[in-house]
């Protein structure tokens, strides 16, 4: 399974394209569409490089979701890929969201699990609130 264009658009909508390295709200150097691996202060990239980083990062997030071996519809898959793309596979793997997913992918309380991931450094971020709402809405649509 691969992320659909709807899922990619969700991620791009929340990961604004930036061609110069910047510190995200979590204090991590970031570039492109939320790419963090190997980014150094002062780095710049092209839109084509940003798209390539996005493909690589999507593949990692998709792999983390696929490893659950849970039968998912496209919207569920896309929502989870967006979530993993943002929080990382290791946090996803230790999350209650994943535990509930493994028990019952249709469990309505999964929506509440998305909404728990709205903080960075203890601060509630409106951008994360909106992203989690969008992910939960997509997951259950």
Mean pLDDT of the chain: 96
CA distance 90 to 44: 28
Say what the pLDDT of residue 109 is: 96
Q: What are the tokens at 11? A: 């991620």
pLDDT at 98 over 90: yes
Give residue-wise pLDDT tens across range 12-68. Answer: 999 999 999 999 988 899 999 999 999 999 999 999 999 999 999 999 999 999 999
pLDDT for the residue numbered 82: 98
Mean of pLDDT values over 66-84: 98
* 56: its two tokens: 């690589």
pLDDT higher than threshold 90 for residue 121: no
* Positions marked active-site: 15, 24
Q: Which residue has the tokens 């998912």?
A: 72
Q: Which residue has the tokens 């399974």?
A: 1
pLDDT for the residue numbered 20 = 98
Q: What angle do CA 45, 50, 56 make, to 5 degrees?
A: 130
Q: Residue 25's pLDDT is what?
A: 86
Q: CATH classification of 5-139 is 3.40.640.10, yes or no?
A: no
């Amino acid at each position: 399974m691969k992320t659909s264009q709807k899922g990619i658009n969700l991620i791009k909508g929340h990961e604004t394209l930036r061609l110069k390295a910047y510190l995200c709200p979590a204090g991590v150097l970031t570039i492109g569409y939320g790419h963090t691996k190997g980014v150094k202060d002062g780095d710049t990239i092209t839109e084509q490089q940003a798209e390539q980083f996005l493909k690589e990062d999507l593949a990692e997030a998709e792999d983390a979701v696929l490893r659950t071996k849970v039968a998912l519809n496209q919207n569920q898959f896309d929502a989870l890929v967006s979530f993993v793309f943002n929080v990382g596979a290791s946090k996803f793997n230790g999350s209650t969201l994943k535990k509930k997913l493994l028990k019952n992918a249709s469990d309505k309380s999964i929506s509440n699990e998305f909404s728990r991931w709205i903080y960075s450094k203890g601060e509630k971020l409106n951008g994360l609130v909106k992203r989690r709402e969008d992910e939960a809405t997509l997951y259950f649509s």
